[in-house]
Amino acid sequence: MAMARRLASSLLSHSLYAARCSSSLFPGARTHDLAFGVLRMFSMAAEPITPPVEVHHTQLLIDGKFVDSASGKTFPTLDPRTGEVIAHVAEADLEDVNRAVSAARKAFDEGPWPKMTGYERSHILYRFADLIEKHNDEIAALETWNSGKPYEHTSQKEVPLVTRLMRYYAGWADKIHGLTVPADGPYHVQVLHEPIGVAGQIIPWNFPLMMFAWKVGPALACGNTIVLKTAEQTPLSALYVSKLLHEAGLPAGVLNVVSGFGPTAGAAIASHMDIDKLVFTGSTVTGKIVLELAARSNLKPATLELGGKSPMIVMDDADIDQAVELAHFALFFNQGQCCCAGSRTFVHERVYDEFVEKSKAHALKRIVGDPFKNGVQQGPQVDEKQLNKIMHYIESGINSGATLVAGGNRIGNKGFYVQPTVFSDVKDEMAIAREDIFGPVQSILKFKDLDEIIRRANATEYGLAAGVFTNNMNTANTLMRALRVGTVWFNCFHVFDPTIPFGGYKMSGQGREKGIDSLKNYLQVKAVVTPLKNPAWL
Ligand code: ADP
């Protein structure tokens, strides 16, 4: 934490270059131009802040050692603030995945990990959590540098939540047990819960470390071994914390981490014959590909957490200022790069105009800039591909007749910054209301009554999450039950806790992560039936 304080005070000495600025700097400018005019000036002129961390780990982690890829190939990992190279990272392909799976297989079949008591495993996971806590600020800095997330958030929220997640799973390690069941007959029947084996885990770039924790935590608590592939955009934080996990006492081969691309390293994991379970978070398109690979290879079971187009429903009885703030947060949090973002803001017609005006004001106030700078709320998008995708959707919104009320442009020409953008008059059939934009683009739609909003909110292939904002308990209860989604946030949004299960209905996925449900992903169920010699004692 000392580093966070040092960084905070050094950041305070920089002049704030985001949207909240003195109009006397630009007399005559409209607020909108002013906000982004100032941002542009600094994002082009000011040097990016030097991240308070160094990159130490860029190789693959196989069998407890950092090693080069078999081909010797590397790929550059970029700083989204500038598009410049942070480091070259070893690039895994089929041969490396094979080596990682062999190590994980051996560690599962012959190693101590699955045979350890839950209490011993929990000890290692608790020590790991302590090490994450100790290195909180370096880990957060690495995460910010590689992904563009505001450092204030990674250091104060995300990394502490990762620590909490690991403690949550450490607590589970010695509480996983089966049952005895009363069969109809002279039998003693036990239901054993055993680790599933080697887990193949493929994670995305929007929450690199959080997704690592959601996957590694329950897999390890249940006694499995792992081959995990990070997203090609964000390999650094997982390598750093994996080193800490070994320092905490994890035996070699239990966790193997490969950096690499989807169609090569990712596909090799999904289709590997010696992987017993696939767990994937990413887009629905890629989810379908990996599910097919899993089915065609060894029919390994899969848990998938995929895309979303979550409704954020604002009723006319709601406190408008609070609703605007919550809907803004629901969409713009994490640069809009959340599978569960409230990306369809449905507002009752009686409060629609006021809501749009206030949402516009909120977007114009949003502080965009170098994510290492104190007070910055929105950093750059993760890469150029995402930037281009977002710009394409903004153009599509304009062309399809939605009204652009704020933003709409890229900021500067260096790095991947996008103006917080708001569209009103959005219709259900527009691409911006149907497809997963994954960026800071809010679409505000109008509705009249409850039956209509239930029908429209559910009229999507996705079913990840929904927000409901109302003071009326009857309305809330009706919506909470009618919405076909994995999470309903009622008068709140983006509340994540290790205890709360997360996952989707429909094409938003299969299975749940976090909470007690996540353990099922990593356990086999074995029935053991023994005849009783003396049925009189049944
Ligand atoms: P995005 O398009 O936002 O990058 P993806 O769903 O494609 O989202 O990526 C999520 C994860 O899936 C990443 O780790 C990526 O490398 C991986 N991936 C992408 N394509 C494939 C594939 N064909 N097979 C396996 N994994 C893949």
Domain boundaries of the chain, sorted by first residue: 13-45, 60-306, 308-490
**Ligand 1 mean position to 262 CA, how many Å?**
5
CB of 485 closer than 8 Å to CB of 310: yes
**Residue from 91, 286, 334, 339 whose mutation best tests the ligand 1 pocket (most atoms within 8 A of CB):** 286
Rounded Cα gap, residues 320 and 362, in angstroms: 13
Rounded Cα gap, residues 410 and 366, in angstroms: 15
**Ligand 1 mean position to 436 CA, how many Å?**
15
Residue pointed to by tokens 């059939």: 429
CB of 523 closer than 8 Å to CB of 176: yes
Residue nearest to atom 14 of ligand 1 (CA): 231
Which residues make Cβ contacts (< 8 Å) with residue 214, sequence separation at least 6? 165, 281, 502, 513, 514, 518
Residues 323, 325, 329, 335, Cα dihedral to 10°: 130
Q: In CATH terms, are 60-306 and 308-490 the same topology?
A: no
Number of residues that this document lists for the chain: 538
Residue pointed to by tokens 């989810």: 287
Residue nearest to atom 27 of ligand 1 (CA): 262
Q: What SS3 state is found at 68?
A: coil
Per-residue model confidence as pLDDT tens digits over 212-230 = 999 999 999 999 999 999 9
- Indicate which atom in ligand 1 lies nearest the CA of residue 438: 3
Residue pointed to by tokens 């398109």: 285
Rounded Cα gap, residues 380 and 413, in angstroms: 12
439 lines ligand 1 (CB under 6 A): no
CB of 411 closer than 8 Å to CB of 419: yes
CB of 466 closer than 8 Å to CB of 310: yes
Residues 217, 222, 225, 228, Cα dihedral to 10°: -30
Q: What SS3 state is found at 247?
A: helix
For the chain, 538 residues long, give each residue's pLDDT as a single digit of tens: 444 433 433 333 332 223 333 222 222 333 333 333 334 333 444 789 999 999 999 999 999 999 999 999 999 999 999 999 999 999 999 999 999 999 999 999 999 999 999 999 999 999 999 999 999 999 999 999 999 999 999 999 999 999 999 999 999 999 999 999 999 999 999 999 999 999 999 999 999 999 999 999 999 999 999 999 999 999 999 999 999 999 999 999 999 999 999 999 999 999 999 999 999 999 999 999 999 999 999 999 999 999 999 999 999 998 999 999 999 999 999 999 999 999 999 999 999 999 999 999 999 999 999 999 999 999 999 999 999 999 999 999 999 999 999 999 999 999 999 999 999 999 999 999 999 999 999 999 999 999 999 999 999 999 999 999 999 999 999 999 999 999 999 999 999 999 999 999 999 999 999 999 999 999 999 999 999 987 666 5
Domain 308-490 has CATH 3.40.190.10: no
How would you classify residue 63: left for phi > 0, otherwise alpha for psi between -120 and 50, otherwise beta?
Answer: left
Catalytic residues: 305
267 lines ligand 1 (CB under 6 A): yes
Rounded Cα gap, residues 121 and 325, in angstroms: 43
**Ligand 1 mean position to 16 CA, how many Å?**
36
263 lines ligand 1 (CB under 6 A): yes
- Indicate which atom in ligand 1 lies nearest the CA of residue 203: 14
Instruction: Locate 6 and state its tokens.
Output: 């040092």
CB of 448 closer than 8 Å to CB of 323: no
CB of 379 closer than 8 Å to CB of 371: yes
Rounded Cα gap, residues 203 and 144, in angstroms: 17
- How far CA 343 is from CA of 224, 236, 485, in Å, comes to 36, 29, 14
Rounded Cα gap, residues 421 and 406, in angstroms: 5
509 lines ligand 1 (CB under 6 A): no
**Ligand 1 mean position to 418 CA, how many Å?**
23
286 lines ligand 1 (CB under 6 A): yes
* Number of other residues whose CB lies within 10 A of the CB of residue 88: 13
CB of 208 closer than 8 Å to CB of 237: yes
**Residue from 75, 202, 258 whose mutation best tests the ligand 1 pocket (most atoms within 8 A of CB):** 202
Rounded Cα gap, residues 305 and 378, in angstroms: 25
Top CATH class, 60-306: alpha beta
Residue pointed to by tokens 């035996």: 251
The per-residue pLDDT for 46 is 74
Which residues make Cβ contacts (< 8 Å) with residue 388, sequence separation at least 6? none
Global confidence as pTM: 0.92
Rounded Cα gap, residues 91 and 489, in angstroms: 40
CB of 446 closer than 8 Å to CB of 352: yes
The enclosing H or E element of 312 equals: strand 311-314
518 lines ligand 1 (CB under 6 A): no
How would you classify residue 355: left for phi > 0, otherwise alpha for psi between -120 and 50, otherwise beta?
Answer: alpha
